[in-house]
């Protein structure tokens, strides 16, 4: 099939009529499928059910050091959980605090603390005239929601397969003291599935910020979420690179087991320099007497060590991989060579990023919804929900069954074709 741009107006009209009939037929199927968020499927949740059996009323509830996890104390996590999360992030356990059930609240608290109490002695952000964050985009909508919630100005930074545009990052960070942070999903980025190159990580570590309280918010959400053993991406450890570059305090790293054990009932951690962690602990002693150490113990007893986590992730990959491959196969078969879309082919993570023709994303998402398939809102992957090109769509293949995924992708490509035809006919 020729690219749509090469078709005559008459050919475009004929094709549009044919696709409209197919779309009406698709609507009559009464689909009700959700591809809007990267939720683990029921099958994925089932493989972790053994987690519920490792502790019961007869269990020894003590850590290896003899601490009773049912009681107060060890505010920043039991040692075994620190070791488990440190190994997952490839950092030293001394640089880790284990918190609650997910990493998003840690990120929210870290921004909130900076607003009210500053960063390690700096002026609280709420007392400053302007606070800015750099936001690589397409990116994670919940990151952007946090900074928008606190009234922080967000600056879009373009993404590439190597990571954010580091020329732009270096310039803005060095020249503007009101730039206080940057959001990063460095491995299998949300939504494109890119992993930052070694050069990008080293350039991050060597930043020379104008603001002493500038921090890199390194959300390593997909640290162990490989789809393939033989072609998994690797990521340099940002903490050690920052230390080598003489910037040991410049990064907060976040991770959790939300998509390893149970979503919303995992354990989460932050890794940072000792100075950063000591500052965090001052607030934490006011905020909490301690997080759920019983859940921490449950995770440690179930997974035992990082190898246990890796074995679990192979089971997740076996469920996820066919779904990703099915989506990409349909995209290539149905849209390849038509000139109306591009998409990523990630080696891990939870998303595929699709770029439609400029000005088409909102219409495609709306058309899919009308026929019973819910996608992430167009624009959600950009600060303030505004995609300047109205082209990016995040595809989340994880939650539907393989059969549902096939139905949803068939409908998606149909909607892409229809909206693209409408756009081309408008231009004429």
Q: What is the CATH number of the domain that holds 189?
A: 3.40.640.10
**Residues 117, 260 share a domain:** yes
Separation CA 356–CA 341 (nearest Å): 4
User: Which pLDDT value is given to residue 416?
Assistant: 98
User: Is 193 part of a structural domain of the chain?
Assistant: yes
Burial of 311 (0-12, 13-18, 19+ CB in 10 A): exposed
User: Is 50 part of a structural domain of the chain?
Assistant: no
Q: Which residues pair with 158 in a beta bridge?
A: 137
**Residues 122, 67 share a domain:** yes
Closest CA to 180 of 240, 220, 236, 129: 129
User: Which pLDDT value is given to residue 199?
Assistant: 98
Radius of gyration of the chain (CA): 23
Instruction: State the pTM of this model.
Output: 0.96
User: Is 275 part of a structural domain of the chain?
Assistant: yes
**Residues 188, 133 share a domain:** yes
Range of the domain at 378: 4-44+310-427
**For residue 382, what is the domain's CATH number?**
3.90.1150.10
Phi, psi of 222 (to 5 degrees): -115, 35
Q: What is the mean pLDDT of each run of 10 residues along the chain (428 residues)?
A: 91 96 94 88 96 97 97 96 98 97 97 98 98 98 98 98 98 98 98 98 98 98 96 97 98 97 96 98 94 98 98 98 94 96 97 97 97 94 97 95 88 97 90
User: Is 369 part of a structural domain of the chain?
Assistant: yes
Q: Which domain-ending residue is among 252, 271, 304?
A: 304
Q: Which residues pair with 269 in a beta bridge?
A: 98, 255
**Residues 335, 188 share a domain:** no
**Residues 119, 253 share a domain:** yes
**Residues 401, 268 share a domain:** no
Burial of 185 (0-12, 13-18, 19+ CB in 10 A): buried
**Residues 255, 149 share a domain:** yes
Q: Which domain-ending residue is among 304, 332, 347?
A: 304
Q: How many Cα atoms occupy the beta-carbon half-sphere of 14 within 13 Å?
A: 6
Closest CA to 397 of 317, 309, 313, 332: 317
User: Which pLDDT value is given to residue 428?
Assistant: 67
pLDDT in tens, 128-143: 999 999 999 999 999 9
pLDDT in tens, 115-125: 999 999 999 99
Residues 24-43 as b/e (b if ≥16 CB within 10 A, e otherwise) read: eebeeeebebebbbbbbbee
User: Which pLDDT value is given to residue 417?
Assistant: 98
Q: Which domain-ending residue is among 245, 269, 304?
A: 304
**Residues 409, 337 share a domain:** yes
User: Which pLDDT value is given to residue 35?
Assistant: 84
Q: How many domains does the chain have?
A: 2
**Residues 215, 274 share a domain:** yes
**Residues 135, 100 share a domain:** yes
Distance of CA 313 to the CA centre of its chain: 17
| SS3 letters across the chain | CCCHHHCCHHHHHHHHHHHHHHHHHHHCCCCCEEECCCCCCHHHHHCCHHHHHCCCCCCCCECCCCCECCCCCCCCCCHHHHHHHHHHHCCCHHHEEECCCCCHHHHHHHHHHHHHHCCCCCCCHHHCCCCEEEEEECCCHHHHHHHHHCCCEEEEEEEECCEECHHHHHHHHHHCCCEEEEEECCCCCCCCCCCCCHHHHHHHHCCCCCCCCCEEEEECCCCCCECCCCCCCCCCCHHHHHHHCCCCCCEEEEEECCCCCCCCCCCEEEECCHHHHHHHHHHHHHHCCCCCHHHHHHHHHHHCCHHHHHHHHHHHHHHHHHHHHHHHHHHHHHHCCCCCEEECCCCECCCEEEEECCCCHHHHHHHHHHCCEEECCCCCCCHHHCCCCCCEEEECCCCCCHHHHHHHHHHHHHHHHHHHHHHHHHHC
């Amino acid at each position: 099939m020729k690219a749509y741009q090469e078709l005559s107006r008459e050919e475009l009209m004929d094709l549009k009529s044919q696709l409209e009939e197919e779309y009406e037929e698709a609507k009559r199927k009464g689909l009700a499928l959700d591809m809007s968020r990267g939720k683990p499927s029921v099958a994925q949740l089932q493989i972790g059910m053994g987690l519920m059996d490792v502790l019961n009323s007869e269990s020894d509830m003590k850590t290896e050091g003899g601490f009773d996890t049912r009681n107060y104390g060890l505010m920043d996590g039991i040692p075994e959980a620190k070791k488990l999360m440190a190994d997952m992030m490839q950092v030293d356990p001394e640089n880790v605090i284990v918190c609650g059930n997910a990493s998003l609240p840690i990120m929210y608290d870290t921004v909130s603390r900076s607003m009210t109490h500053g960063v390690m002695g700096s002026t609280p952000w709420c007392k400053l005239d302007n606070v800015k964050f750099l936001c690589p985009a397409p990116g994670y909508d919940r990151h952007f929601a946090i900074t928008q919630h606190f009234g922080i100005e967000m600056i879009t930074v373009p993404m590439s397969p190597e990571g954010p545009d580091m020329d732009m990052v270096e310039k803005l960070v060095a020249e503007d003291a009101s730039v206080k942070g940057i959001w990063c999903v460095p491995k299998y980025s949300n939504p494109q599935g890119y992993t930052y190159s070694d050069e990008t990580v080293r350039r991050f570590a060597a930043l020379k910020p104008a603001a002493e309280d500038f921090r890199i918010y390194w959300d390593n959400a997909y640290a162990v979420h490989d789809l393939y053993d033989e072609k998994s991406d690797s990521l340099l450890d940002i903490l050690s690179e920052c230390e080598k570059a003489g910037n040991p305090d410049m990064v907060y790293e976040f991770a959790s087991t939300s998509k390893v054990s149970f979503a919303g009932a995992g354990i989460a951690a932050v890794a940072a320099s000792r100075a950063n962690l000591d500052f965090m602990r001052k607030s934490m002693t006011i905020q909490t007497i301690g997080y759920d150490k019983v859940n921490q113990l449950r995770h440690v007893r179930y997974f035992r060590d990082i190898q246990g986590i890796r074995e679990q992730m192979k089971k997740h990959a076996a469920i996820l991989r066919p779904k990703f491959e099915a989506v990409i196969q349909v995209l290539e078969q149905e849209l390849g060579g038509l000139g109306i879309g591009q998409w990523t082919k990630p080696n891990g993570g939870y998303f595929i990023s699709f770029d439609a023709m400029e000005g088409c994303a909102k219409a495609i998402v709306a058309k899919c919804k009308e026929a019973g398939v819910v996608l992430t809102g167009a624009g959600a992957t950009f600060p303030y929900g505004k995609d300047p090109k109205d082209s990016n769509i995040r595809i989340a293949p994880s939650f539907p069954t393989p059969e549902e995924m096939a139905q949803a992708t068939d409908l998606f490509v149909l909607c892409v074709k229809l909206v693209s035809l409408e756009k081309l006919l408008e231009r004429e």
